[in-house]
Amino acid sequence: MTVTVPGPTLGVVGGGQLGRMLAEAAAPLGVEVVVLDPTPDCPAAPVARDQIVGGFDDPEAFRELASRADALTFEIELADSELLDDVSEAHGLSVHPSPETLSLIEDKLVQKRALEDAGVPVPPFRRVDDAEDLRAALEEFGSVMLKARTGGYDGRGNVPVREESEIEDALDAVGGPAMAETFVDFARELSVIAAQGDGEVRTFPVGENVHEEEILRETVVPARTDESTLARADEVARGVLSVLDGRGVFGIEMFETDGGEISVNEIAPRPHNSGHWTIEGARTSQFEQHVRAVLGWPLGSPARRSPTAMANVLGTVEESQEAELGGVESVLAADGASLHWYGKDEVRPLRKMGHLTLTGTDGASDDDADVDELLARARDLRDGLRFE
């Protein structure tokens, strides 16, 4: 394969913060990005070559995107997989990850069945179509997490159910086809950002995620667990990739139990929030890796530069308002800290508005105490930010 720059134009379905960071990573490679998103002046618009305003199921918008691109990818699971397949065939373009993979992942029940069939460890689960199904799941598993089969993200569509009295409210909250998964009593949640290229696989070091109210708050690398568990998590991530077709980066979330057992929670067929640490903390960011992968270029090194903590900047407001972030100077003045603002005009309660990373010094210790200190400092910096 011969690679020259300036490179091709990459069409991206979705223009949120992930599309923004994809465009930022593509530019130094000589790759231009055109995004498709229904929100005018979406977060990716200021850094992408152009934006096509259209829905994620708009055939005309998809055709226009395909006519202006040399390859296609997506940064949101709401992208219509059938439309992606149709326009790629009509225009002779590659789509990565494949539309078939998107179709498999966007339905959590189909996803879990495919993983189970491939021997990838997953928590016990069952289909839920009505109250009787959920009651049967409670009897079989005890406490369960009821999950919307499609459309859920950032904790939306996930409802814990512990008693029969909660069944009707949980089904109403999910509002459609669902699955029940046994409630895993996990010691920590891990994630692996894994990249699949042309005949090569690269996995980033295992991260440890901290959630609150089902929303990711922080990620720290290295994860605070033993080497055998880290190796097992990497092994499981590679097993997940064997189920998925097409090139690209995948965010693979896992549970680790007190006994060191690993099971897969969910998969994202795109760069993932838990991989944002890679921008400053790894030799190749997850976003550059995704661009390289979907274009069929050689993958970069995923090696970690130093211990790194990432903290999400969430909307700390009680109701929607114009987005203006204060206290930024404290982050800018901190050694090893980097701020990423997503360019959203409106802040809403718990909406992801940006993130910050804090890197340790090169050669710093991986001892849990040092990682704890790094995470505490990242939290302090994040908590010092405020919406005016």
Known binding residue 108? Answer is: yes
- Considering only CA atoms, which of 316, 323, 312, 320 is closest in space to residue 356? 312
Q: What is the token pair recorded at 317? A: 């407001």
Instruction: Work out the angle between the directed axes of helices 17-26 and 286-294 (0-180°, nearest 10).
Output: 70
Known binding residue 318? Answer is: no
Residue 331 phi/psi, 5-degree rounding, is -70, -45
- Considering only CA atoms, which of 317, 349, 353, 342 is closest in space to residue 41? 342
Known binding residue 147? Answer is: yes
Q: Which residues pair with 160 in a beta bridge?
A: 145
| CA 233 to mean position of chain CA atoms | 17
Known binding residue 189? Answer is: yes
* Residue 33 to residue 25: CA distance in whole angstroms: 10
Q: What is the DSSP letter of 129?
A: S
Which residues are within 8 A (CB) of 112 and not within 5 positions of it... i.e. 6 or more apart? 122, 125, 179, 181
Known binding residue 5? Answer is: no
Known binding residue 3? Answer is: no
What Cα–Cα distance (Å) separates residue 124 from each residue in 181, 183, 184, 265, 380?
6, 9, 9, 11, 38
Which amino acid is located at 290 in the chain? H
Residue 302: is the preceding peptide bond cis (ω within 30°)? no
Q: Which residues in 342-388 belong to E strands, given as ranges?
A: 346-347, 352-359, 386-387
Known binding residue 181? Answer is: yes
Known binding residue 184? Answer is: yes
* Residue 285 to residue 217: CA distance in whole angstroms: 20
Residue pair 264/240 in contact (Cβ under 8 Å)? The answer is yes
Which residues are within 8 A (CB) of 254 and not within 5 positions of it... i.e. 6 or more apart? 189, 190, 191, 192, 233, 236, 237, 262, 263, 264, 265
Residues of each annotated binding site for ATP = 108, 147, 181-184, 189, 211, 265-266
Residues of each annotated binding site = 108, 147, 181-184, 189, 211, 265-266
